[in-house]
């Protein structure tokens, strides 16, 4: 049997090597077609023939070994030798198989064409069969995949070759990483068919890139410049795009042009752009991770201003192409970034430069926040090779820094002095000024305690270091300093990395042991508020503080300074003085703190435990207290005795476990002396017997009475618990229950809550549970009234447990007068016991199914407006005048029958179609009411109180929405809500003659919205399925009533509106006319009207007998509330709308057909008669007066004179 399997093994071995090394490369494959019956598809699978034979060979070998073991196991040595030999052979064959990678015939042909075009075919070996086949997978230039394709390609074009390489040259083979050199590339080379992970081109030549790069990483090292601009849109889909010079020649450069749209920010958060550039591009509309510029030739210095557009670039760096470049003007524009309100952009940026800079004309202002509080700021600035010119008289050339600056590197310059950084703020934590030729002594005192690290290495500084620098880890390697290092630094000189900061000087104590070093650590917690993701949180902050507590030699790492056990995350706030840990949780932990410099060990806890004495001894007034939770800081310890009358002065160095104090004199009596030990803010009262022969031992209380929960009586070791706590350690909460649970429950004193007896509820068990505690399903149906133990049902539910629907109708689709289908919409629930529907007196036959919001039924013939009655579940609902038969036989009548046939005709929908000279709802008004000619125009004004005023000459009309009223089944007023003067104007919506008002009804969730629109032109509008025509100058009012809470399911709403007229002046004219009010309110009419006429002007209001109730059209009626000689008030009777009622009336003021034009001539004629009468009367009076004077003079006075003369003559005689 062994012989047989040996033969099989040899046969398979022979065929494997025959097919692997003898037949031509392209014929090593067989093609198998596999048919998938379920999918009814087929595919072609390619196998290498030698792989098939290797498969059988491999398993025959394993079986061969098994047979040998089975038959010859007693020949141990022979078996061992044969097995090992077989395994070595198996390993050899497996490795041979593993190294034979797989590419298809098509891929072989593709690679053959590629290397031929590159003129490097001679670099690849031929196969062993002597044919002209090449083994592309056996060299380091190509790494083939085990599943076809090429995983890695590294090919250089022959230097003498001038062939232009296209993307089609490599697209015919599946490739992973591509590296190539000296290729002459076509402009569209990078538009690969399949996206490649990495493409690197070294010493390449390309004239332009005119297509999109389909690769994750693109690295090009140019041997010639690309003169044509590289569009950002062609490379933006890469993760990384870099363009470098292959030989450091700055002329091998590129120019990037941003052609992306400016309308929105283009976000490419992971994109990295770098290269030798001739110009800084405008990047105001893109967001990148990193931009790295190497300054090329020729460089456009004016483009430096584009650095101000790099608002959304996280890291910006500028580097010289070679060391001879520069100096350049400092790119101050990087400090003038445009402000942004975006919250998804990192507010802190990094700027780095290795450029040498020119001497500035004046000190530079780096405080970009001065131009706006929303500036993007650079917290990290690296200026690596500033050069000898970039200073002002040896000073740092910056007069101010951004308040958010944290790190500044200013290296390889020519400064004379150490800046004091007075113009930086407390966030400034690191400054490096190495290699700057700084001389002289360090300034004293050093006040920038928040500057954690200051590197002054490789300068010419002399003198010593002052103690004021202890809050800063200073590095002064290779200077000319001398004297003693301060204690704070000397304490840590055994740490090699720390010591390296001071070598290269002449410090006298750098090699000596510092025995005077004193470390005093403290630990405590504090509560702070922090903002995280816009939310203010209270967190616990751990503080380690004190004297010489150590430095963070590396960033926030103290591993070389001390070891904290257990370890926690630490952050430096002030070097050597304050170390913190955020989000600390109090865990009753005692930390062991071991210093690496001297091996000193400290024990600390931040948890608030009071100092706990264990035993006390005395010796001539020296009191030694042994215990725990003391302090190393003598300044926070105080001991008073004898009720505070005597002080025991702490001596020596206290520890976490021991305190010693000295009394100046012993109290009398000296037994049972009260002693108050206070450590920081915690204190303990105990009693001491001051006899030197007695050891005062104290009984420790269990768990220290849980600190704040009680006070320990050390003489007994018993806790005296505070209110709210009980137990041996005051750890059990004890809270009394309210009203002792009304004696119908058991109090849980741990939480102070009652466990009520069955049927009783509330926090003191005083309430009664309802039969169904959920009242039919929680808040949707009702709530339990615990005072009475009954359910208070919501409006839509009824019954003891609020399970019976309280139904209503909100809208109707009626039948014609001939009868037919009726659709009732509203709320009907899911329980329909003995459901019946009546329209007027007629039964409406139900059509199943009935849903919770729709009832369909069939009604007989009828007419007019009717009541609706629905009975189910023992509840009757009646809707008064809520059903109107549709009468298709009667044509809708028009208002006043359009006045007469010469002014208009009545059309089918009840509207008047007026002739050209007439307008109005009934064609009774002469046209041209918009102004012009002799007819006066109407001016309309929408007031802030929600009213609308129409003024025409001396006549003024007002339209008011006055009240919203809830009325019951009998029409009685239930609730009245005044609307007038309570409107809130929505100013943001006033546009195009449209004003919007809103108000929230008091004590309800009901919102009333009103929109008033002044129509500037005539138009047709459909409302509730009815087409309405609106004339120019009309006022359209839309009112929406939302989410009204009814007091009863049978109640409805009434919206009241009022129209009134006033006279603006008492001047008489030819149109003087008293007020006349008319209404045409017929509930069966499609349209109802009211009108107020005065002085031949008519205000007309039109009311459609339709409303949109909960999204559906249904009828309404209109009632006359009141009218007098100057006003009319109507009520729109709305259905039971649960979500929304929408009403849409309109108004207009037009001239009456009796209107007259009262011109000036007519006014003069009215004065002719009275003036003529008056003038005639005056004329006659003058004639009569004159005649009388003549008569008097001629007759009366003449006769009188004669008589006087005779009397005189008689006297003379």
- The mean pLDDT of 608-632, rounded to a whole number, is 92
Band (pLDDT 50/70/90 cuts) for residue 90 is very low
| pLDDT score, position 349 | 72
* Of residues 943, 1145, 1134, 945, the one with CA closest to residue 1041: 1134
| pLDDT score, position 867 | 93
Mean model confidence pLDDT for the chain: 81
Reduce the DSSP state of residue 496 to 3 states and report it: helix
* Of residues 1015, 910, 953, 1019, the one with CA closest to residue 1152: 953
| pLDDT score, position 56 | 53
Cα gap 493→488, rounded to integer Å: 10
Q: Which residue has the higher pLDDT, 1009 or 990?
A: 1009
Residue linked to tokens 């509840």: 875
Sign (positive/negative) of CA torsion 1198, 1199, 1202, 1208? negative
Other residues' Cβ atoms within 10 Å of the Cβ of residue 937: 15
Please answer whether residues 385 and 360 qualify as being in contact, where contact means their C-beta atoms are separated by less than 8 angstroms.
no
| pLDDT score, position 1182 | 57
Asked whether residue 1074 carries a pLDDT value surpassing 70, the answer given is no
Asked whether residue 435 carries a pLDDT value surpassing 80, the answer given is yes
Residue 217, C-beta contacts closer than 8 angstroms, at least 6 positions apart: 197, 198, 199, 200, 238, 239, 240
Asked whether residue 301 carries a pLDDT value surpassing 50, the answer given is yes
Q: For the CA atoms of 329, 330, 333, 335, what is the dihedral angle to 10 degrees?
A: -170
Burial degree of 945 (CB within 10 A; 0-12, 13-18, 19+):
middle
Percentage of the chain modeled with pLDDT above 90: 33
Asked whether residue 518 carries a pLDDT value surpassing 60, the answer given is yes
Asked whether residue 371 carries a pLDDT value surpassing 50, the answer given is no
- The mean pLDDT of 119-141, rounded to a whole number, is 78
Band (pLDDT 50/70/90 cuts) for residue 1208 is low
Asked whether residue 1159 carries a pLDDT value surpassing 60, the answer given is no
Residue linked to tokens 């007038």: 980
Asked whether residue 331 carries a pLDDT value surpassing 70, the answer given is yes
Q: For the CA atoms of 285, 290, 296, 300, what is the dihedral angle to 10 degrees?
A: 30
CA 216 to chain centre: 31
| pLDDT score, position 144 | 82
- The mean pLDDT of 814-820, rounded to a whole number, is 93
- The mean pLDDT of 433-453, rounded to a whole number, is 87
| pLDDT score, position 525 | 92
Cα gap 173→342, rounded to integer Å: 45
- The mean pLDDT of 814-830, rounded to a whole number, is 93
SS3 of 448-480:
CCCCCEEECCCCEEEECCCHHHHHCEEECCCCE
Pairing mode, strands 1106-1109 and 1140-1143: antiparallel
**pLDDT tens per residue, range 1060-1071:** 888 876 665 676
* Of residues 499, 506, 518, 447, the one with CA closest to residue 479: 506
Asked whether residue 868 carries a pLDDT value surpassing 90, the answer given is yes
Residue linked to tokens 């005539």: 1018
Single pTM value for the model: 0.53
Burial degree of 593 (CB within 10 A; 0-12, 13-18, 19+):
buried
Range picked from 46-55, 75-84, 1093-1102 for highest mean pLDDT: 1093-1102
| pLDDT score, position 1 | 47
- The mean pLDDT of 520-549, rounded to a whole number, is 91
Cα gap 1123→624, rounded to integer Å: 103
Asked whether residue 1115 carries a pLDDT value surpassing 60, the answer given is yes
Asked whether residue 366 carries a pLDDT value surpassing 90, the answer given is no
Supply φ then ψ for residue 170, to 5 degrees.
-120, -5
**pLDDT tens per residue, range 913-929:** 888 888 888 888 887 65
| pLDDT score, position 1029 | 81
Range picked from 109-118, 854-863, 1061-1070, 1159-1168 for highest mean pLDDT: 854-863
| pLDDT score, position 768 | 93
Judged by average pLDDT, the poorest of 79-88, 334-343, 384-393, 500-509 is 79-88
Ramachandran class of 884: left when φ > 0, alpha when ψ lies in -120 to 50, beta otherwise: beta
Band (pLDDT 50/70/90 cuts) for residue 1204 is low
Q: Which two tokens stand for residue 164?
A: 């232009």
| pLDDT score, position 82 | 44
- The mean pLDDT of 838-861, rounded to a whole number, is 94
Percentage of the chain modeled with pLDDT above 70: 80
| pLDDT score, position 1094 | 72
Other residues' Cβ atoms within 10 Å of the Cβ of residue 890: 10
Asked whether residue 1046 carries a pLDDT value surpassing 70, the answer given is yes
**pLDDT tens per residue, range 213-251:** 999 999 999 999 999 999 999 999 899 999 999 888 889
Asked whether residue 1154 carries a pLDDT value surpassing 90, the answer given is no
**pLDDT tens per residue, range 970-989:** 889 999 999 888 888 886 55
Band (pLDDT 50/70/90 cuts) for residue 932 is very low
Angle at 592 between CA 587 and CA 598, to 5 degrees: 160
């Amino acid at each position: 049997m062994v012989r047989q399997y040996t033969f099989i093994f040899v046969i398979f071995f022979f065929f494997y090597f025959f097919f692997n090394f003898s037949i031509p490369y392209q014929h090593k494959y067989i093609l198998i077609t596999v048919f998938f019956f379920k999918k009814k598809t087929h595919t072609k699978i390619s196998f290498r023939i030698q792989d098939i034979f290797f498969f059988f060979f491999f398993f025959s070998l394993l079986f061969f070994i098994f047979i040998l073991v089975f038959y010859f196991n007693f020949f141990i040595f022979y078996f061992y030798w044969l097995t090992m030999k077989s395994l070595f052979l198996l390993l050899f064959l497996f490795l041979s198989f593993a190294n034979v990678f797989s590419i298809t015939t098509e891929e072989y042909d593709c690679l053959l064409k590629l290397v031929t075009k590159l003129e490097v075919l001679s670099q690849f070996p031929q196969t062993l069969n002597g044919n002209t086949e090449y083994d592309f997978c056996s060299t380091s230039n190509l790494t083939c995949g085990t599943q076809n394709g090429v995983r890695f390609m590294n090919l250089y074009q022959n230097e003498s070759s001038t062939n232009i390489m296209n993307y089609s040259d490599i697209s015919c083979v599946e490739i992973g990483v591509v590296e190539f050199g000296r290729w002459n590339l076509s402009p569209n080379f990078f538009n690969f068919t399949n996206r490649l992970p990495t493409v690197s081109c070294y010493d390449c030549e390309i004239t332009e890139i005119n297509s999109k790069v389909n690769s994750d990483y693109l690295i090009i090292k140019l041997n010639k410049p690309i003169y044509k601009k590289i569009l950002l849109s062609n490379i933006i889909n890469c993760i990384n795009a870099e363009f470098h010079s292959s030989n450091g020649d700055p002329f091998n450069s590129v120019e990037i042009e941003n052609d992306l749209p400016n309308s929105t920010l283009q976000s490419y958060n992971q994109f990295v752009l770098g290269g030798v550039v001739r110009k800084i591009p405008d990047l105001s509309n893109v967001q990148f991770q990193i931009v790295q510029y190497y300054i090329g030739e020729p460089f456009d210095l004016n483009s430096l201003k584009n650095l101000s557009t790099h608002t959304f670039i996280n890291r910006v760096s500028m580097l010289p192409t070679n060391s001879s470049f520069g100096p350049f003007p400092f790119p101050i524009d990087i400090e003038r970034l445009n402000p942004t309100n975006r919250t998804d952009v990192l507010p802190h940026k990094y700027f780095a430069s290795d450029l040498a800079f020119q001497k500035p004309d004046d000190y530079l202002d780096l405080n970009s926040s001065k131009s706006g509080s929303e500036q993007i700021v650079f917290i990290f600035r690296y200026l690596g090779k500033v050069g000898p010119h970039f200073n002002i008289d040896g000073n740092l050339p910056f007069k101010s820094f951004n308040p958010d600056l944290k790190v500044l590197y200013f290296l390889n310059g020519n400064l004379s002095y150490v800046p004091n950084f007075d113009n930086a703020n407390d966030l400034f934590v690191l400054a490096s000024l190495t290699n700057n030729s700084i001389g002289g002594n360090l300034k004293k005192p050093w006040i920038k305690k928040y500057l954690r690290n200051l590197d002054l290495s490789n300068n010419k500084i002399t003198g010593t270091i002052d103690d004021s620098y202890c809050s800063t880890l200073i590095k002064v390697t290779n200077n000319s300093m001398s004297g003693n290092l301060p204690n704070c630094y000397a304490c840590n000189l055994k740490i090699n990395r720390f010591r390296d900061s001071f070598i290269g000087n002449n410090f006298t104590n750098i090699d000596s042991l510092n025995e005077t070093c004193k470390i005093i650590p403290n630990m405590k917690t504090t509560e702070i508020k922090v903002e995280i993701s816009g939310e203010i949180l209270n967190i616990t902050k751990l503080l380690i503080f004190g004297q010489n507590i150590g430095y963070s030699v590396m960033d926030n790492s103290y591993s070389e300074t001390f070891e904290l056990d257990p370890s926690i995350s630490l952050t430096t706030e002030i070097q050597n003085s304050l170390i913190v840990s955020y989000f600390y949780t109090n865990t009753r932990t005692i930390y062991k703190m071991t210093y690496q410099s001297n091996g000193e060990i400290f024990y600390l806890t931040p948890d608030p435990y009071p100092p706990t004495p264990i035993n006390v001894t005395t010796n001539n007034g020296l009191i030694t207290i042994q215990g725990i939770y003391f302090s190393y800081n003598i300044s926070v310890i105080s001991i008073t005795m004898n009720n505070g009358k005597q002080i025991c002065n702490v001596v020596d160095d206290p520890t976490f476990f021991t305190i010693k104090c000295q009394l100046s004199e012993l109290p009398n009596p000296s037994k049972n002396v009260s002693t108050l030990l206070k450590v920081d803010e915690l204190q303990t009262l105990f009693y001491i017997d001051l006899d030197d022969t007695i050891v005062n031992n104290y009984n420790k209380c269990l768990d220290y009475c849980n600190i704040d929960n009680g006070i320990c009586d050390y003489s007994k070791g018993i806790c005296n618990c505070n209110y709210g706590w009980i137990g041996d350690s005051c750890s059990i909460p004890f809270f009394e229950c309210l009203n002792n649970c009304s004696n119908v429950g058991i109090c849980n004193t741990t939480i102070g809550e009652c466990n009520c007896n069955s049927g009783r509820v509330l926090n003191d068990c005083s309430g009664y549970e309802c039969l169904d505690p959920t009242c039919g399903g929680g808040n949707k149906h009702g709530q339990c009234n615990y005072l009475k133990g009954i359910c208070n049902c919501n409006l839509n539910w009824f019954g003891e447990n609020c399970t019976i629907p309280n139904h209503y109708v909100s809208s109707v689709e009626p039948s014609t007068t001939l009868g037919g289908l009726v659709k009732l919409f509203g709320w009907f629930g899911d329980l329909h016991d003995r459901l019946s529907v009546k329209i007027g007196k007629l039964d409406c036959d139900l059509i199943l199914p009935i849903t919770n919001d729709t009832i369909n039924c069939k009604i007989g013939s009828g007419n007019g407006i009717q009541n609706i009655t629905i009975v189910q579940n023992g509840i009757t609902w009646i809707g008064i005048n809520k059903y109107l038969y549709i009468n298709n036989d009667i044509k809708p009548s028009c208002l006043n029958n359009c006045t007469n046939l010469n002014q208009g005709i009545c059309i089918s929908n009840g509207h008047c179609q007026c002739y050209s000279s007439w307008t109005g709802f009934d064609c009774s008004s002469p046209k041209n009411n918009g102004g012009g000619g002799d007819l006066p125009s109407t001016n309309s004004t929408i007031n802030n109180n929600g009213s609308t005023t129409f003024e025409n000459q001396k006549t003024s009309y007002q339209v008011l929405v006055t009240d919203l009223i809830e009325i019951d089944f009998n029409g009685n007023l239930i609730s009245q809500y005044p609307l007038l003067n309570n409107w809130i104007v929505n100013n943001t919506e006033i546009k195009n003659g449209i004003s919007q008002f809103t108000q929230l009804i008091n004590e309800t969730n009901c919102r009333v919205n009103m929109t008033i629109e002044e129509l500037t032109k005539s138009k047709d509008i459909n409302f509730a399925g009815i087409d309405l025509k609106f004339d120019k100058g009309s006022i359209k009012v839309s009112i929406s009533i939302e989410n009204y809470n009814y007091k009863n399911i049978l109640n409805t709403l009434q919206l009241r509106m009022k129209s009134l007229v006033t006279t603006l002046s008492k001047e008489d004219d030819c149109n003087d006319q008293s007020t006349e009010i008319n209404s045409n309110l017929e509930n069966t009419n499609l349209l109802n009207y009211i009108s107020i006429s005065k002085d031949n002007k008519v205000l007309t209001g039109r009311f459609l007998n339709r409303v949109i109730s909960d999204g559906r059209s249904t009828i309404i009626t209109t009632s006359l509330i009141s009218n007098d000689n100057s006003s009319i008030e109507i009520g729109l009777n709305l259905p039971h709308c649960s979500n929304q009622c929408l009403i849409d009336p309109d108004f207009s003021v037009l001239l009456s057909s009796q209107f007259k034009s009262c011109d000036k001539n007519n006014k003069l004629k009215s004065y002719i008669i009275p003036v003529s009468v008056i003038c005639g009367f005056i004329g006659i009076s003058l004639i009569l007066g004159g005649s009388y004077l003549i008569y008097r003079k001629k007759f009366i006075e003449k006769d009188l004179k004669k008589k006087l003369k005779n009397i005189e003559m008689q006297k003379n005689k």
